[in-house]
């Protein structure tokens, strides 16, 4: 009898202790406000990226951070020689070609690459249709986001994203530099025709819809143009200054990017606009302050891509490729790869940048390629 009573007492003590622990544990956590660390997007592949990085020469590492516009001549020879991280395809690269010819062209680039390359294209729909402008590849060009939304709302946006992804994947493309998620509602805005033309909340839903729908389809999508193009002029031809308040930009322009980040967008492309409320001197693409806003305030752990550093807004800036590294981009888009490589090597020699900075960029790119199952 004594043993039974003793056993019951011990059980009671254990139960009370367990209940007390269960009750107190969450309360302590709430009181201490302990943050739950958020996993980085490619974190599971960092070790593989690090291992692959160790097998590369300095020249190969420099080339890996470049997304190069496909040269009109000797494209296969150049990628074989330099081992670029990727090629960016334009309308001229698809013109009059059949699907089979495009596939063979892409495969020829991949076959001479030690590390599988990013094959990127701007297939936005509407005025920017690098692929679907060719009737051999699609019977009609993809519609603009605005036209899609007007015809069938977000459901048609979903269907369009699936159709785009299937066509791009079939042709060997693995990265779409789309969608445009700039909040522009005035017809006079330069980016108006390329945007969905809705307010910040609805544009954020558009960003979320495209990124969520694209997952698992074999093609990564890119939100652009951070931190929001607003009503700025065309940066292909010259410098554009954005004098809006930071409060306005946060309340309006950042919402679509925040929405996309929440559902796992892998890449964000930075504009060349000078956003004076963040950085009065540097274009966003070359501004550490803008990148810090994206990394620290929005908690983006994916790939940051510059807009093409051969564009008009950049031509008067000294050593733009060095600044692109210093401001902590991950990938540099260039139409002048040999000039870019030369400038980066000189920057290393003059200690303006370090090999460690290059390594950090390459590790992120390689980890992304593992994540994408290219490696």
Contacts 24+ apart (CB under 8 A), 167-170: 167/131, 167/132, 167/137, 167/138, 168/121, 168/123, 168/131, 168/219, 169/217, 169/218, 169/219, 170/99, 170/103
pLDDT of 221 reads 98
Whole-number Cα distances in Å, 313 to 43, 199, 236, 239, 246: 34, 27, 6, 4, 22
Q: Is the pLDDT of residue 337 over 60?
A: yes
Boundaries of every domain in the chain: 1-33, 41-371
Q: What is the pLDDT of residue 188?
A: 80
Contact 332, 65 (CB under 8 A): yes
Burial class of residue 135 (count of CB atoms within 10 Å of its CB; 0-12, 13-18, 19+):
exposed
What tens digit of pLDDT does each residue of 146-165 get? 999 999 999 999 999 999 99
Topology (CATH) of 41-371: TIM Barrel (3.20.20)
Percent over 70 (pLDDT), the chain: 87
Binned at pLDDT 50, 70 and 90, residue 229 comes out as: confident
Q: What is the pLDDT of residue 35?
A: 56
Q: Is residue 275 classed as helix, strand or coil in its secondary structure? A: strand
pLDDT score at 56: 98
Pick the closest to residue 235 from 203, 212, 265, 269 (CA basis): 269
Query: 289: which residues sit within 8 A by CB, 6+ positions away?
Result: 278, 279, 282
pLDDT tens for each residue of 309-322: 877 567 778 999 99
Compute how many other C-beta atoms are within 10 angstroms of the C-beta atom of residue 275: 28
Question: What pLDDT is recorded for position 31?
Answer: 41
Q: How far apart are CA 63 and CA 61, in angstroms?
A: 5
Tally of CB atoms within 10 A around 180: 28
pLDDT of residue 42: 98
Residue 297 burial by CB count (10 A; 0-12/13-18/19+): exposed, middle or buried?
Answer: exposed
What distance in Å separates the CA atoms of residue 363 and residue 85, rounded to the nearest whole number? 12
Which residue shows structure tokens 């819809």?
A: 209
Inter-residue contact 232 to 265 (CB < 8 Å): no
Average pLDDT, the chain: 90
Provide the whole-model pTM. 0.88
Q: What is the pLDDT of residue 129?
A: 98
For residue 36, what pLDDT is reported? 60
- Residue 3: pLDDT over 50: no
What is the per-residue pLDDT for 18?
43
What was the pLDDT predicted at 168? 98
């Amino acid at each position: 009898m004594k043993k039974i009573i003793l056993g019951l007492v011990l059980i009671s003590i254990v139960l009370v202790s367990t209940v007390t622990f269960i009750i107190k544990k969450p309360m302590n956590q709430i009181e201490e406000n302990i943050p739950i660390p958020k996993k980085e997007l490619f974190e599971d592949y960092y070790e593989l990226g690090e291992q692959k990085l160790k097998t590369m020469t300095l020249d190969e590492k420099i080339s890996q951070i470049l997304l190069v516009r496909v040269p009109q001549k000797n494209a296969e020879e150049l990628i074989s020689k330099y081992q670029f991280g990727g090629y960016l395809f334009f309308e001229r690269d698809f013109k009059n070609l059949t699907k089979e010819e495009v596939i063979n062209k892409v495969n020829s680039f991949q076959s001479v690459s030690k590390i599988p390359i990013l094959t990127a294209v701007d297939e936005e729909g509407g005025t920017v249709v690098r692929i679907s402008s060719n009737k051999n590849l699609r019977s009609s060009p993809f519609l603009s986001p605005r036209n899609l939304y007007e015809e069938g709302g977000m459901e048609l946006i979903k269907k369009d994203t699936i159709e785009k992804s299937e066509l791009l994947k079939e042709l060997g493309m693995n990265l779409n530099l789309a969608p445009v998620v700039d909040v522009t509602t005035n017809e006079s805005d330069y980016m108006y025709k390329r945007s969905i033309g809705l307010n910040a909340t609805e544009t954020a839903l558009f960003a979320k819809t495209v990124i969520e729908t694209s997952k698992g389809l074999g093609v990564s999508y890119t939100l652009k143009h951070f931190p929001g193009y607003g009503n700025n002029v065309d940066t292909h031809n010259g410098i554009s200054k954005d004098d809006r308040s930071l409060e306005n930009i946060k309340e309006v322009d950042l919402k679509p990017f925040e929405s996309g980040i929440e559902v796992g967008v892998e890449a964000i492309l930075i504009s060349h606009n000078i956003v004076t409320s963040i950085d009065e001197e540097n274009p966003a693409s070359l501004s550490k302050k803008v990148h810090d806003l994206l990394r620290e305030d929005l908690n983006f752990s994916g790939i940051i891509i510059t807009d093409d550093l051969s564009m008009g807004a950049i031509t008067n800036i000294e050593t733009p490729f060095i600044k692109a590294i210093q401001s902590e981009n991950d990938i540099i888009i260039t139409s002048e790869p040999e000039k870019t490589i030369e400038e980066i090597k000189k920057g290393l020699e003059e200690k303006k940048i370090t090999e460690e900075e290059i390594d950090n960029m390459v590790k992120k790119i390689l980890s992304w390629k593992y994540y994408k199952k290219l490696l």
